[in-house]
Amino acid sequence: MTEPLLTLRVARKQAATDRICTLELEALPGQTLPPFTPGAHLELQLGEGLVRQYSLVNAPSERGLYRLGVLLDPQSRGGSRAVHEHVQAGQTLQVRGPRNHFALEPSARHHLLLAGGIGITPLLSMAQHLAHPEQQAAGARFSLHYAARSRAQAAYLERLAEPDLAARVQHHFDDGPPEQRLDLSALLARPDAGTHVYVCGPQGFIEATLAAARQAGWPEAQLHYEYFGATVQAQAGDRGFEIELARSGKTVWVAPDCSAADALTAAGVPLMTACLQGVCGTCLTPVLSGQPEHRDAYLSAEEKAANQQFLPCCSRAVSERLVLDL
């Protein structure tokens, strides 16, 4: 079920770097903000069907405020450009959430947080939460590695330098001396049963981290990741396939150059979508039979292998027909 839309006021908008802006959202008078957990995101309605998800940067204990960090993507299909160019302090925004697909594992003895670029946003929320005196008293342990092109392009450095975080943070700048660069193979060389790894950032950064972790033998259940800016592209050799809608018995053809979500929508099948990049999970649909070809960054490796659900905004089919519970 879709959560209700919240109307929030933009209390402040500030530049965190020359390409990242911070939005602070607050409730309207007489209302309160729903609480959130570290790693959560909000879905912003940016007008004309433009819906985008952005991670919360602040600590969940900082009540009364949602803080978001938004990178201006040069490839922007409208979302980050709308935030950077049109959203202003004082206006209201329609928002859904908070939702969390990137939660901390409560049983972990140590949390290893790896941020690439704008991926710092959910990991900073996690770090602040874990550094909170209550969490520290409960034995929370963490370290944060933050990789960025340069110091100038790294956001939230002042917060990361505060005493509760500084000793647990290591910075890695691409333009810095070689010895401070992030060596993922060395960092992840020894899997540890009590440690959970959390990675967020550009696709290449996440894939490199997961590859290093898997190579070293980290169990899948200890790897947590959230993509930003994943790309969904048609691939050479894409074939058409049929979708059968189990509830109506109707059949929809998905042409090689068309997404399953577009084909379903064109056939009048109601389907909720948001990111259209296989990232947010909004279009998650149960599969009754057939084999999907998963191209999303949302389902875990186990969920993909189970083939019981798929994301029609980006995924396709290996089999000639998928039967969906629609």
Binding-site ranges for ligand FES (CB under 6 A): 273-276, 278-283, 296, 298, 311, 313
Nearer to ligand FES, 96 or 196 (CB): 96
Among 28, 46, 23, residue whose Cα is nearest residue 96: 46
Nearer to ligand FES, 16 or 230 (CB): 230
| Min dist. Cβ of residue 315 to ligand FES (A) | 9
Rounded CA gap, 168 and 141, in Å?
9
Quote the DSSP letter at residue 56. Answer: B
| Min dist. Cβ of residue 232 to ligand FES (A) | 9
Q: 98: cis peptide before it, omega within 30°?
A: yes
Nearer to ligand FES, 131 or 232 (CB): 232
**CB of 289 within 8 A of CB of 323?**
yes
SS3 category, 148: strand
Nearer to ligand FES, 226 or 296 (CB): 296
| Min dist. Cβ of residue 266 to ligand FES (A) | 16
Site of tokens 């940067």 = 57
Q: Which two tokens stand for residue 270?
A: 């109601």
**CB of 146 within 8 A of CB of 169?**
yes
| Min dist. Cβ of residue 274 to ligand FES (A) | 5
| Min dist. Cβ of residue 57 to ligand FES (A) | 21
The total of other beta-carbon atoms located within 10 Å of residue 1's CB is: 3
The C-alpha torsion from 88 through 90 and 96 to 97, rounded to 10°, is 100
- Ramachandran assignment for 186, one of left (phi > 0), alpha (psi -120 to 50 degrees), beta (any other): alpha
Nearer to ligand FES, 102 or 298 (CB): 298
Quote the DSSP letter at residue 190. Answer: S
Rounded CA gap, 215 and 207, in Å?
12
- Ramachandran assignment for 96, one of left (phi > 0), alpha (psi -120 to 50 degrees), beta (any other): beta
Nearer to ligand FES, 40 or 184 (CB): 40
Nearer to ligand FES, 121 or 282 (CB): 282
Cβ density class 155-168: b for 16+ within 10 Å, e for less: bbbebbeeeebeeb
Rounded CA gap, 197 and 135, in Å?
18
Q: Which two tokens stand for residue 78?
A: 């409208």
| Min dist. Cβ of residue 114 to ligand FES (A) | 23
| Min dist. Cβ of residue 233 to ligand FES (A) | 15
Nearer to ligand FES, 157 or 284 (CB): 284
| Min dist. Cβ of residue 41 to ligand FES (A) | 12
| Min dist. Cβ of residue 311 to ligand FES (A) | 5
Nearer to ligand FES, 58 or 273 (CB): 273
